[in-house]
Amino acid sequence: MEEKLKKNLEEIIVRNASPDDLDEIMKIEEKEYGPIDWVVPKEVMKYRLKNCYFKEPGDLFWVAVKDQQIVGYITGMIINFDPKNPPNTRREAIGYKRASDGKEYGFGTKHNPNGNALYVMSIGVLEKGKGIASKLIQTTVDFVKNNGYNGLQYRVAGLRSGYAEFVKRNPDITPEQYIQLRREDGQYVDGFMRLYSRFGFKELCMKKDYAPEDKVGEGWGNIMVWENKDYIGKFVCLEGPVRYLREMGISARYPTKKEMKGFSEE
């Protein structure tokens, strides 16, 4: 890795987001998804920060910080995901709700702490090509490993990253063909496929009209899955057994407050 990039990466830390980060996160959201495309209003981001959490608000929302400035974010939610029967639309996957401007957005109302997979809803960076997204994606992969979930799926608008330009030069290529194309060096032509395949994500399927509001990506969704090789069932254990199971290489996680209800202190 180039020394400069390496140093830059070392200076970036990833931490859980807090509600105080909202304004800085919105700056990135507006820069990356606005003004006419796919930006969500502040109230949607606020909802995600407060409601899509694992143990505490913000636990499924991470920010990358450099020199005390937020330079990227990634957020997700826990859902029930069956790779044999993947969602047909983003609306179905994450849940939409009407905001105060009268329009519907992907708030993430389907967050279910008892689900089996992490679904990444959104990612954005302040400055591209500096490895910020890679660092954030690695955080979600570690989260899935450490908390005993079996997978992480990510809705990639495959066409956002250059299909429109590509198809001008190659008018006969279909989105499904495009997503599979490789460069001479063996890497994917598509930017998102290139990025996610480096972490071991595999393409599951392409869905037309997955997110019609994504104008740049022409609504297409490319569902990618990262499988947790350690997953052999979701363990919910108390502290001692969790550590023991992890030492044995088995995924385990702590019970949530809700799951603990009904247990006596004895």
Ligand X SMILES: CC(C)(COP(=O)(O)OP(=O)(O)OC[C@H]1O[C@@H](n2cnc3c(N)ncnc32)[C@H](O)[C@@H]1OP(=O)(O)O)[C@@H](O)C(=O)NCCC(=O)NCCS
CB of 35 or CB of 129, closer to ligand X? 129
- 203 and 179 in contact (C-beta within 8 Å)? yes
CA distances to 25, 94, 258 from 56, in Å: 18, 20, 12
DSSP one-letter code for 173: -
Closest distance of CB 199 from ligand X, Å: 10
Say whether 179 sits in a helix, a strand or coil: helix
Closest distance of CB 34 from ligand X, Å: 11
Matching residue, tokens 């660092």: 135
Closest-by-Cβ residue to ligand X is: 191
What is the per-residue binding string for ligand X in 159-198, x denoting contact by CB under 6 A?
-xx-----------------------------xx-xx---
What is the per-residue binding string for ligand X in 4-43, x denoting contact by CB under 6 A?
----------------------------x-----------
List 109's β-bridge partners, or say none.
none
Residues 92-114 as b or e (16 or more Cβ within 10 Å = b): ebbbbeebeeeeebbbbebbeee
One of 65, 125, 152, 225 touching ligand X (CB under 6 A):
125
CB of 129 or CB of 171, closer to ligand X? 129
Query: Residue 128 interacts with ligand X (CB under 6 A)?
Result: yes
Query: Residue 88 interacts with ligand X (CB under 6 A)?
Result: no
126: CB partners within 8 A, 6+ apart = 27, 28, 31, 69, 70, 71, 72, 132
Query: Residue 157 interacts with ligand X (CB under 6 A)?
Result: yes
Q: Which residues bind ligand X (CB under 6 A)?
A: 32, 123-125, 128-134, 156-157, 160-161, 191-192, 194-195
